[in-house]
């Protein structure tokens, strides 16, 4: 529709003023709800071309369009804004065009498409996934689908932080206090089992630090000098030196964690094309650092540590290798970025990481460019806000986080209880009930998180997320299921005549409202990809579901006596269902056929 208007407006400017208008002068947007019209042309930029006032220019262009373009049925001028009304007949034609397009709204990755690597999840192997990881995973996975649907080649990657002082803490705690226990012997998921030893380490460390503080040490000195912390640091050195016994313990405990992670990823419906491991990539990072040191890009201090000086870029100096030669997170990320570029020669690389790491990714991008990697200009940190609970922040060290597995289970239970109370589970087998409640529970969780602007901090409230009314996942899922039910009944009763011609039918105002939103879908997907915002898709789905339900409430579909109108409404319903299903897919949410 915008393409048609843009072409008509350019022709109007050429005919009326003898000038070919540049595309950037034609600012077309949806008309604001408080004004009459469908699309608005911002006329101010054209005033110099027309040599008339914005109001006169708007009237002249409006008159031309209503006379020359059948699709435009009227206009009004509000100061320098030209509001254009699209005819009902044109909206009817638009529905037919969209309905015939089986791939409507999604683009294929053709020649010249960008290759985009998206990194998300990035868990540590010292603890299970929690609510914060859920927001990360849901954002990353949704972005991968949105960017792909906008016509790009997308590679989903994960970097597992499987080395460093954090896993050594769990290892030391298990050695000292584990007494040979395993996840199997305790009947626990492996990631939960190892995470408990991380929490135990911190508990014992606090006890040791308290004694040192009482002896006159500062809190920071006490933590660093405590015997447990010293043991963990020695274990890290032994691991980096390849000590067989240490490496064997590390491999065993990490294998427990990976098995646990896989269960959670499957439950969330999240998957990756490639998983990288810090234990591999840090080696490449260290080689890059040492080579850059030889080339004079870096600084070696008297204690042997290696730094990069970014003060000229208004940052500071950043540690890349410790004095004992061990690598830091930045070293690993340098190596991972180079390996990934060699693997995929990406155009863009998006890191889905919380906003507390903003500085880290500024340094990473500048450091790689300083080292001669020009492609590092394509690195982008997708910085999102933290997710909290009504009672406040979560703390991994203290074991006060909301566990991802527990939350997924609780959402399914809550969905089951609410569905039973509303009487929505009648006539289903037990397996069907369990599957539908799983879909509703996860849909509620995912939608509640993804509908929020990712840049903002958010508070997650499980009870608010599961509601069959309002701006929730279950409301949209229920609308889709309602549409599928109508279409199935139409087929079963034989009232859906697909061959019937609906051309020339004039939709009413409610139908036009739905068609307008369906028309927006082809713009909302690329916009969400540009803005990196699943929230745009989520809230679009809600608006479409709400508008369709208002139409459904006011007008009969299967009970419509006019055959052509009935089939027109069935097509409208069918396309709405297809678009809702695609929108939910982009959010990683399943669309139940029945609810």
Give residue limits of the domains in the chain: 2-86, 120-388, 404-586
From CA 529, how far away is CA 509, in angstroms rounded? 31
Q: 3-state DSSP call for residue 158?
A: strand
Enumerate the β-bridge partners of residue 29: 40
From CA 281, how far away is CA 185, in angstroms rounded? 33
Position 460 confidence tier, pLDDT thresholds 50, 70, 90:
confident
Give per-residue pLDDT as tens, 6-28: 999 999 999 999 999 888 889 99
Give per-residue pLDDT as tens, 97-117: 999 999 999 999 999 999 999
Q: What is the mean pLDDT of residues 510-517?
A: 97
Q: 3-state DSSP call for residue 503?
A: coil
Q: Which CATH number fits domain 404-586: 2.40.30.30, 1.10.357.10, 1.10.730.10, 1.25.50.10?
A: 1.10.730.10
Give per-residue pLDDT as tens, 115-173: 999 999 999 999 899 998 999 999 999 999 999 999 999 999 999 999 888 999 999 99
What's the pLDDT score for residue 392? Answer: 52
Report the run of H or E that residue 78 belongs to, with start and end.
Answer: strand 72-78
Structure tokens at 449: 């998180």
* pLDDT of 369 higher than 80: yes
Position 501 confidence tier, pLDDT thresholds 50, 70, 90:
low
Of 549, 384, 543, which is closest to residue 450 (Cα–Cα)? Answer: 384
From CA 352, how far away is CA 119, in angstroms rounded? 6
pLDDT above 70 covers a percentage of the chain that reads 97
Q: What is the mean pLDDT of the chain?
A: 93
What's the pLDDT score for residue 221? Answer: 93
* pLDDT of 496 higher than 60: yes
Lowest model confidence (mean pLDDT) among 192-196, 327-331, 528-532, 587-591: 327-331
Lowest model confidence (mean pLDDT) among 139-148, 282-291, 295-304, 461-470: 461-470
Fold of 120-388: Rossmann fold (3.40.50)
pLDDT above 90 covers a percentage of the chain that reads 82
| DSSP β-ladder status, 72-78 and 348-354 | unpaired
From CA 454, how far away is CA 448, in angstroms rounded? 12
- State the Rg of the chain over Cα: 29
Start-end of H helices in 269-348: 278-294, 329-344
Position 499 confidence tier, pLDDT thresholds 50, 70, 90:
low
What's the pLDDT score for residue 250? Answer: 97
Enumerate the β-bridge partners of residue 130: 403
Give per-residue pLDDT as tens, 28-74: 999 998 999 999 999 999 998 899 999 999 999 999 999 999 999 99
What's the pLDDT score for residue 23? Answer: 86
Distance of CA 542 to the CA centre of its chain: 17
258 backbone dihedrals φ, ψ, rounded to 5°: -60, -40
* pLDDT of 312 higher than 50: yes
What's the pLDDT score for residue 396? Answer: 44
Q: 3-state DSSP call for residue 28?
A: strand
Give per-residue pLDDT as tens, 222-263: 999 999 999 999 999 899 889 999 999 999 999 999 999 999
Q: How many residues does the chain have?
A: 595
What's the pLDDT score for residue 498? Answer: 61
From CA 391, how far away is CA 407, in angstroms rounded? 16
What's the pLDDT score for residue 394? Answer: 44
User: Which residues in 225-252 are b (16+ Cβ under 10 Å) and which e?
Assistant: ebebbebbbebbebbbeeeeebeebbee
E strands along 385-495, which residues?
Answer: 387-388, 458-459
Per CATH, domain 2-86 is 3.30.1360.70: yes
20 burial (CB, 10 Å; 0-12 / 13-18 / 19+) is exposed
What's the pLDDT score for residue 348? Answer: 98
Give per-residue pLDDT as tens, 528-587: 999 999 999 999 999 999 999 999 999 999 999 989 999 999 999 999 999 999 999 999
Lowest model confidence (mean pLDDT) among 22-31, 200-209, 352-361: 22-31
Q: CB of 72 within 8 A of CB of 66?
A: yes
What's the pLDDT score for residue 397? Answer: 45
């Amino acid at each position: 529709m915008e393409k048609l208007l843009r072409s008509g407006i350019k022709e109007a400017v050429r005919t009326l003023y003898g000038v070919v208008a540049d595309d950037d002068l034609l600012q077309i947007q949806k008309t604001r709800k408080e004004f009459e019209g469908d699309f608005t042309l911002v006329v101010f930029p054209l005033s110099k071309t027309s040599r008339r006032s914005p109001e006169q220019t708007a009237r002249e262009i409006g008159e031309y369009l209503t006379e020359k373009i059948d699709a435009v049925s009227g206009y009004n001028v509000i100061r320098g804004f030209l509001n254009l009304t699209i005819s009902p007949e044109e909206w009817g034609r638009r529905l037919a065009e969209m309905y015939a397009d089986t791939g409507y709204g999604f683009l294929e990755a053709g020649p010249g498409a960008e290759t985009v690597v998206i990194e998300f999840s990035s868990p540590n192997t010292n603890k299970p996934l929690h609510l914060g990881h859920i927001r990360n995973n849901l954002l990353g996975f949704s972005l991968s689908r949105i960017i792909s649907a906008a016509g790009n080649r997308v590679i989903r990657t994960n970097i597992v932080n499987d080395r460093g002082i954090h896993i050594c803490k769990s290892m030391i705690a298990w050695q000292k206090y584990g007494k040979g226990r395993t996840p199997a012997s305790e009947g626990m998921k492996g990631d939960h089992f190892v995470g408990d030893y991380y929490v135990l380490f911190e508990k014992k460390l606090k006890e040791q630090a308290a004694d040192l503080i009482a002896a006159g040490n500062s809190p920071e000195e006490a933590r660093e000098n405590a015997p447990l912390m010293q043991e963990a640091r020695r274990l890290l050195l032994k691991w980096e030196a390849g000590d067989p016994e240490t490496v064997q313990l590390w491999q065993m405990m990490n294998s427990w964690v990976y098995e646990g992670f896989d269960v959670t990823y499957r439950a969330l419906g999240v998957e990756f094309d490639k998983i990288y491991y810090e234990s591999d990539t840090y080696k490449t990072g260290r080689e890059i650092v040492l080579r850059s040191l030889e080339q004079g890009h870096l600084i070696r201090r008297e204690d042997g540590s290696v730094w990069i000086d970014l003060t000229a870029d208004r940052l500071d100096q950043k540690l890349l290798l410790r004095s004992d030669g061990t690598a830091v997170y930045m070293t690993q990320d340098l190596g991972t970025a180079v390996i990934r570029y060699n693997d995929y020669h990406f155009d863009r690389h998006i890191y889905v990481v919380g906003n507390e790491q903003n500085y880290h990714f500024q340094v990473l991008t500048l450091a790689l460019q300083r080292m001669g990697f020009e492609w590092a200009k394509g690195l982008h940190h997708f910085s999102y806000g933290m997710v909290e609970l009504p009672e406040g922040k979560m703390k991994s060290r203290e074991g006060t986080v909301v566990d991802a597995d527990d939350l997924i289970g609780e959402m399914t239970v809550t969905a089951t209880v609410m569905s039973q109370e509303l009487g929505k589970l009648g006539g289903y087998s037990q397996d069907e009930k369990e599957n539908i409640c799983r879909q509703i529970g996860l849909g509620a969780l995912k939608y509640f998180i993804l509908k929020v602007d990712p840049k903002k901090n958010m508070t997650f409230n499980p009870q608010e997320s599961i509601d069959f009314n309002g701006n929730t996942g279950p409301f949209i899922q229920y609308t889709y299921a309602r549409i599928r039910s109508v279409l199935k009944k139409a087929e079963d009763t034989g009232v859906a005549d697909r061959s019937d011609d609906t051309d020339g039918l004039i939709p009413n105002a409610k139908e036009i409202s739905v068609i307008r939103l369906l028309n927006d879908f082809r713009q909302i997907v690329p916009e969400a990809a540009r803005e990196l915002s699943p929230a745009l898709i989520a809230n679009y789905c809600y608006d479409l579901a709400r508008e369709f339900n208002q139409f459904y409430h006011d007008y009969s579909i299967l009970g419509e006596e006019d055959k052509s109108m009935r089939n027109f409404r069935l097509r409208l319903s069918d396309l709405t269902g297809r678009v809702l299903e695609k929108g939910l897919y982009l959010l990683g949410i399943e669309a139940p056929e029945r609810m």
